[in-house]
Structure 1
Amino acid sequence: MAGETDLTQLLKTMQPVRQEGEYVFCTLANTTHCPPHLDPVGYFKEAEGLTLMVPKSQADAAGLAYPAVFALITLTVHSSLEAVGFMAAIATHLANHGISVNPVSAFYHDHLFVPTKDAERAMALLQSLTDSACSQSPA
């Protein structure tokens, strides 16, 4: 099943959902595999080490350091990995309101890590982006 590529349709139907809990980014140097006691929502291998996106509670239990705490917002529309401008529109809209975002695109959905303190405002701004897309184009 192919994901949506039309930017207007993506913005109209993104349906953001805030996931439960708090999340952090941690790094483990000199390893390419996640320790079995951690269950990350995502990870990325970099030259400097393995970056893990894990629930804050797991990082705390493992004694892992992290620089900030994030909320995780999932955009439930099935977006195509080849969609043009979707993340740019979202990141720009949030940035225009002083909210940083660390987007992660997976096969079915896009996920946004935003500072926990800004999560509710980010949800409202995402809704305003949807409302704007709906009012600017025919249904």
Structure 2
Amino acid sequence: MAGERDLKALLRDMKPEMQEGVFVFCTIAPGQEIPAAINPLLMFREQEGTTLVMRREQAERAGLSSQFASRLITLTIHSSLNAVGFLAAITARLAEAGISVNAVSAFYHDHLFVPDQRATEALRILNSMSAPEPRTSAR
């Protein structure tokens, strides 16, 4: 099944859902093994080190320093990896409200990490973006 590519449909049907828990971003040095007790939600290797995104309590138990306490909002529509403008429209709207966002596109969905203290506001904004336009009645 191919993902949605139409921007209007993506925005209309994105159905954002806030996931449980607070997530943090951690890094380990290049070549350093990921501790066996860690099961990160996301891992990305960069030249400077490996980024791990995981629940805050997991990072604390592993003794890892972390940044960006965030909530995860999943846009539940199956978006195409070739969709144009979807994340641009969303991140621009959140930026207007002064809300930072770290977006991740996976095979089926787009995921937004937003600051923990602004997550409810971000979810409200996203829901308002997908609300149907009010119909005006002809007189």
TM (normalized to structure 2)?
0.93
Stretches of structure 2 that go unaligned for 5 or more consecutive residues are none
**Aligned to 2:2, what secondary structure does the other structure show?**
coil
Q: Which has the higher helix share?
A: 1
CA contact (8 A) 1:32 1:45 kept: no
CA contact (8 A) 1:39 1:54 kept: yes
Deviates further, 23-32 or 122-131: 23-32
**Aligned to 2:111, what secondary structure does the other structure show?**
strand
Match of 1:135 in 2: 133
Q: How many residues align?
A: 135
Question: What whole-Å deviation, never above 9, does each CA across 1:45-72 have from its counterpart, x for those lacking one?
Answer: 0000100011101100001111220000
CA distance in 2, matches of 1:68, 1:106: 20
Stretches of structure 1 that go unaligned for 5 or more consecutive residues are none
Question: What whole-Å deviation, never above 9, does each CA across 1:2-41 have from its counterpart, x for those lacking one?
Answer: 1000000000000001000000000000226533211111
CA distance in 2, matches of 1:32, 1:107: 28
Match of 2:53 in 1: 53
CA contact (8 A) 2:103 2:110 kept: yes
Distance change in 2, residues 1:33/1:79 (3 Å): farther
CA distance in 2, matches of 1:75, 1:35: 30
* Code of the aligned partner of 2:110: D
TM (normalized to structure 1)?
0.93
**Aligned to 1:69, what secondary structure does the other structure show?**
strand
CA distance in 1, matches of 2:97, 2:32: 36
**Aligned to 2:68, what secondary structure does the other structure show?**
coil
Question: What whole-Å deviation, never above 9, does each CA across 1:68-106 have from its counterpart, x for those lacking one?
Answer: 200000010000000000000000000000100000000
Deviates further, 32-41 or 46-55: 32-41
CA distance in 1, matches of 2:127, 2:68: 25
**Aligned to 2:67, what secondary structure does the other structure show?**
coil
**Aligned to 2:3, what secondary structure does the other structure show?**
coil
Q: CA RMSD in A?
A: 1.5
Q: Does 1:5 align with 2:5?
A: yes
Match of 1:90 in 2: 90
